[in-house]
Homo-oligomer: A and B are copies of this chain.
Amino acid sequence: MSDRDSRHKASMQKLKTRVDEKVASATEQRGLLLINTGNGKGKTTAAWGTVTRALGYDYKVGVVQFIKGLWECGERNRLEDDANLQVAIMATGFTWDTQNREEDTRACQEVWQEAARMLSDPNVYLVVLDEITYMLKFGYLDIETVKQALENRPHEQTVIITGRNAHRDLVAMADTVTEMQEVRHAFNNGIQARRGIDY
């Protein structure tokens, strides 16, 4: 074995010990609260990736789309025939298009009822609250209501929250928080949003 190969083997053996220790110490089993936040691309996309993953094991999944419901959505197209997937859509369009706080609040409260139902259903393995952070930021939805629904949800249910500027109380509650940071974005360099890639 060459020197380089031996060094590689030794370093991988060390790494394996560390990995095994970590795996052994992770013993708790329950549903998780995940937050995908930050100003970068991938928050909603990663949530849909997880939806696809969970559906791959025949788990029941609920997705609540706050804000973006009017847009075409390739993931929804691809998966909507799946009997295990339910999607609730606010469908008002972006807040900068509606420009109407009162109506947006009403639409948000309505779709929240769907979310609340999913969050109390032990048959739903994964619930995605897509872009709910903006609902809290604009005051369309009360943080205490959301916290309570999350706290009281079934033990095995995982929830993914997406959106920029996640409320600090949600971050404090979460098991896993990922900050998607924009290092560079094509859109800012004059490249159009792309069908099948960006939406």
Contact = CB atoms under 8 A, between A and B. Distances in A.
Interface in A31-78: 31-32, 34, 36, 38, 40-57, 59, 73-78
Given A46-B49, A52-B75, A183-B171, A57 B195 contact: yes
A52 B61 CA distance: 15
Interface string A178-199: 1111111111111111111101
Which of A12, A26, A51, A56 gathers most chain B CB within 10 Å?
A56
A183 B190 contact: no
B100 A9 contact: yes
A145 interface: no
A49 B119 CA distance: 23
Interface in A113-136: 125-126
Nearest to A76: B56
A186 B32 contact: yes
Task: Bin chain A's interface residue count.
Answer: 35 or more
Interface string A74-85: 111111000000
Contacts of A169: none
A81 to B, nearest CB: 11
Interface of A: 4-5, 8-9, 12-13, 15-16, 19, 22, 25-32, 34, 36, 38, 40-57, 59, 73-79, 94-102, 125-126, 138, 158, 171, 174-197, 199
Question: 6 tightest CB-CB pairs across the interface, nearest first?
Answer: A56-B74, A56-B78, A53-B74, A49-B49, A56-B77, A45-B49
Given A5-B102, A29-B194, 11 more contacts: A16-B99, A28-B189, A34-B41, A34-B197, A41-B176, A48-B53, A50-B197, A53-B199, A57-B77, A174-B184, A176-B184
